[in-house]
Amino acid sequence: MTDIAGMKAELDGLVREQAERRALREQRGEEIKAQSHEYMTKQVQAAERYVQHRRELAQRKTKSGWSTDRTHAEPPSAFDDPVEFPAAPGNPPMPPRPPRDEPPRPTRRHRAAEEDDEAFDNNPW
pLDDT tens figures, 81-98:
666 666 666 666 667 777
| Helix H or strand E segment including 65 | strand 65-66
**Which residues touch 32 (CB under 8 Å, ≥6 apart)?**
89, 90
> How far apart are alpha carbons 15 and 10 in whole angstroms?
9
For residue 81, the 8-state DSSP code is: S
- pLDDT band of residue 75 (cuts 50, 70, 90) is low
- pLDDT band of residue 119 (cuts 50, 70, 90) is low
Count other C-beta atoms under 10 Å from residue 63's C-beta. Answer: 4
pLDDT number for residue 23 = 96
> How far apart are alpha carbons 98 and 49 in whole angstroms?
36
> What is the reported pTM?
0.38
* pLDDT tens column, 15-53: 999 999 999 999 999 999 999 999 999 999 999 999 999
What three-state secondary structure class fits 42? helix
pLDDT number for residue 118 = 60
Average pLDDT, the chain: 77
Instruction: Select from 85, 86, 73 the least CA-distant residue to 49.
Output: 85
- pLDDT band of residue 102 (cuts 50, 70, 90) is confident
